[in-house]
Structure 1
Amino acid sequence: MMNDQKKWIYLIVLSLIWGSSYILIKKGLVGLTPIQLGSVRIIFSTVFLFLIGFRSVLKIKRQEWKWVAVSALCGTFVPVFLFSFAETEIDSSIASILNSLVPLFTIFIGFAVFKVNFSKNQVIGVIIGLLGAVVLIFQGANVNPDQNYFFALLVVVAAICYAINANIVKSKLQEVSPMAIAVGNFAVMVVPAILVLSFSGVFNESTYENKEFQTSLGYIAVLAVFGTGLAKILFNKLIQISNAVFSTSVTYLIPVVGIFWGVLDGEKFTVIHLLASGIILLGVYIVNRNRKKK
């Protein structure tokens, strides 16, 4: 199968997996704190990836490990905690929509750090996308006055982290296998995650006896295996057979899946929400369309 066909298959599969991640985070937060959720997610993902691909890390060269470590920090470690804290205050569907900003930030970071050129139309697309994000945040605050929508900014920071990671994988780790990058990422993160978890109160006996805690662990186990471990491998492969901007365009489809789960779970979604979502995706489309022409 040609890479042009493969990249679309990867894109669709990733959108289904990551689009479902936000509702799993929401369900996981019922019995876990954000710190516990982020740490457990990393540890579970590490176990899964080590079981299926531990030997792949032996192929990572010494000079590549620093980029693997930066990729781990930006692509997983920081975002998993940011999303966990964000969803204590904002709806999962809103988090999935705001994550659509990733391709926009990918353009700017690619230019500023990795010297990838961008055009006037791409700048316009970025501005449109950011305007949509502002509308979405303010509308969310109006519809849900009991929620603190300043936490939505955490999702924006996470989107910037993802954009940095996409550029790093494309420009610095192109010759490293997707499996090796994924396993190497979690080899770097697992010890810090265990240390963070040990100070979170998760080892108290009363915690284990809590049924909500046990149920939440189940949700996070599914999230770790599919939404973090497997998706990490697929995403790294997608970047290598396409480009950083196309890869982050998975965020076109993620909101569709995220909104579906959110509405199914009783979250409020208004016409203004839909309009703001359309504005963000329009900005992403303009950025991507121009890139494809070039």
Structure 2
Amino acid sequence: MNAISILQLFLLAAIWGGSFLFMRMGAPVLGATWLVELRVGLAALFLTLVAILLKKTVSFRGVKKHFIILGFFNSVLPFMLFGYAAHTLSASLLSILNATAPIWGGLIMAVWYKEAISLKALLGMAAGICGVAILVGFDPVALQPGSALAVTAAVMAAGSYGIASTYARSAMTVEPFNNAYGSMWAATLILVLLLPFDVPQQMPGLTISLAVLALGVICSGVAYLLYFRLISDIGPASTLTVTFLIPMFGILWGYLILDEALGWHTLVGSLIVISGTILVTGFSIKSLARKPHVD
């Protein structure tokens, strides 16, 4: 992995770490369905504007089914599950549970492509699991009555990302921008059917409106451009390790903005998670000197 990809990985982690903050703010007001529809809809409009400015031609011919599958497993299902969990869990805990995605992705890819998992990757996955266990096990929010269903929903959302990344690997003939653009529009159209069944109980104020705007444009539109580019450059397994880094930023934003608790388990768990990321991605000082991938 070269220096540019590493920087992109950390930038993506910072952006997606913020998404849990915005979901925690918006879900109790708008409900999961409307929050997610606004998120993917704004992302789709943003990417349309980018396509116009860059004079990109995006065709849906022959890839409609692909965009629907990708939009469902990479956006609709995980966003809805996280939106539901955001009613109960903190932004910090949501970002931590999201870190199980590489574990799911590694296992799914091993079965799907019949690939052996290296010992280093296994150790990295184990470290990631241990780090997440420490973070969740000592978080008072996760120990409260009624939080088990929300935690289960968040873990299932992470599993959906594993399915999406594995599927995306088999469809890399589709250009990264087209994947982001097509999947956001597919997700938008899918969620339109669900809007009448989850009407918001109140209108959002300025703060929530700005949070939703950032969630759609930055955390979805910009983020998915980075995400699919990384899948193309470094592969789905290494790209999924961004979720090992997201907890650091999710915890940071939650602590700074929502005044969420920060304990010893947060620091220890995060360090273990970072170690797992290094093992799974194969990062080393030597990798910084490698030339970036050129299409």
Give the TM-score normalised by the residue count of structure 1: 0.84
Letter in 1 for 2:47: L
Determine helix, strand or coil for the equivalent of 2:138.
helix
Alignment of 1:1-294 (within 5 A): 4-53=2-51, 56-58=57-59, 60=60, 62=62, 64-141=63-140, 145=144, 148-172=147-171, 174-202=172-200, 207=202, 210=203, 212-264=204-256, 265-289=258-282
SS at match of 2:16: helix
The amino acid across from 1:88 in the alignment is H
- Judged with a 3 Å threshold, the aligned counterparts in structure 2 of structure 1 residues 250 and 217 are, in CA distance, closer, same or farther, namely same
Unaligned runs of 5+ in 2: 288-295
Identity within the alignment, %: 25
Structure richer in helix, relative to its length: 1
Equivalent residue number for residue 292 of structure 2: none
Equivalent position amino acid for 1:237 in 2: R
Greater alpha carbon shift after TM alignment, 48-57 vs 181-190: 48-57
Q: Which residue in the other structure is 2:290 paired with? A: none
Q: Residue 82 of structure 2 aligns to which amino acid in structure 1?
A: F
The answer (yes or no) to whether the contact 2:89–2:142 under 8 Å persists in 1 is: no
Question: Could you tell me how far 1:195 is from its partner in structure 2?
Answer: 2.0
| CA drift at 1:108 | 0.9
The alpha-carbon deviation at position 290 of structure 1 amounts to: 9.3
CA distance in 1, matches of 2:263, 2:58: 47
**8 Å contact from structure 1 (residues 102, 251) kept in 2:** yes
1:98, distance to aligned residue in structure 2 (A): 2.2
Aligned residues: 282
Cα drift, residue 147 of structure 1: 6.7
Are the counterparts in 2 of residues 42 and 193 from structure 1 also a CA contact under 8 Å? no
Q: Which residue does the alignment assign to 2:293?
A: none
Letter in 1 for 2:135: L
Cα separation, partners in 2 of 1:147 and 1:90, compared to 1, 3 Å: farther
Cα offset, 1:32, TM superposition? 1.4
2:67 is matched by which residue type in structure 1? V
Q: How much has 1:121 moved relative to structure 2? A: 4.2
Whichever residue aligns with residue 179 of structure 2, its letter is: I
Give the deviation of 1:253 after TM superposition: 2.9
| 1:100/1:281 contact within 8 Å kept | no
In structure 2, what is the Cα distance between the partners aligned to 1:194 and 1:233?
23
Q: Is the 8 A contact 1:67 1:168 kept in 2?
A: no
State the shift of 1:82 in Å: 1.2
Question: What's the C-alpha RMSD, in Å, of the aligned pairs?
Answer: 2.8
Q: Distance in 1 between matches of 2:5 and 2:119?
A: 27
**Local SS of the residue matching 1:140:** coil
- Contact 1:106–1:245 (CA under 8 A) maintained in structure 2: yes
List alignment gaps of at least 5 residues for structure 1: none
**Pairwise CA distance, 1:130:** 2.6
Contact map agreement 1:121 1:290 (CA 8 A) in 2: no
Residue by residue over 1:116-155, the C-alpha shift from the partner in whole angstroms, topping out at 9 and shown as x without a partner, is: 3213443343344334333333322478636724412222
Query: Quick one: structure 1 residues 81 and 213, their matched pair in 2 at CA, closer, same or farther if it must change by over 3 Å?
Result: farther
